[in-house]
């Protein structure tokens, strides 16, 4: 069973920055794709960014140029650097990892005030 521990959420003013972290532990299998999703109140969960274990990343159009996803394979940790945050980025952010099957983190709240 894979455990995911997320950290780094919080309250920030528009234009500010936050860095999310998600550490995976307990996997007997090589961790493949890691990613971040978010869910705003009343909306469906949506993709933010993903990254393969080879470092290939993919972003939602709404965050391109502002967010950067990276990972440390030795630590099984994925990061999301979020710059120039906007009020519409407010959501609960979830990490997910592929280790034979997908696992989800518990979510971390990001609130951007205008």
Structure tokens at 98: 């592929």
Of 2, 96, 1, nearest to 46 (Cα)? 96
Mean residue pLDDT of the chain comes to 96
The position carrying tokens 């939602």 is 60
Determine which helix (DSSP H) or strand (DSSP E) holds 72, and give its type and residue range: strand 67-72
- Contact in structure between 97 and 33 (CB atoms under 8 Å): yes
> What's the rounded Cα separation, in Å, for the pair 82 and 13?
12
Mean pLDDT of 56-65: 98
pLDDT of residue 42: 94
- Contact in structure between 92 and 107 (CB atoms under 8 Å): yes
112 DSSP assignment: E
- Non-local CB neighbours of 76 within 8 Å, separated by 6+ positions: 23, 24, 25, 27, 31, 97
Q: What is the pLDDT of residues 85-104, one digit of tens each?
A: 999 999 999 999 998 899 99
Mean pLDDT of 4-33: 94
pLDDT of residue 39: 98
pLDDT of residue 29: 84
Q: How far is CA 65 from the centre of its chain?
A: 15
């Amino acid at each position: 069973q894979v455990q995911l521990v997320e950290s780094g959420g919080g309250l920030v003013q528009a234009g500010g920055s936050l860095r999310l972290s998600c550490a995976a532990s307990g996997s007997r299998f090589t961790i493949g794709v890691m990613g971040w999703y978010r869910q705003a109140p009343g909306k469906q969960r949506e993709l933010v960014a993903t990254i393969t274990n080879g470092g290939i990343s993919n972003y939602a159009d709404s965050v391109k140029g502002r967010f950067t996803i990276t990972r440390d394979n030795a630590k099984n940790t994925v990061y999301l650097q979020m710059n120039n945050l906007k009020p519409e980025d407010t959501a609960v952010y979830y990490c997910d990892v592929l280790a034979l099957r997908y696992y989800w983190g518990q979510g971390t709240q990001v609130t951007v005030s205008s």
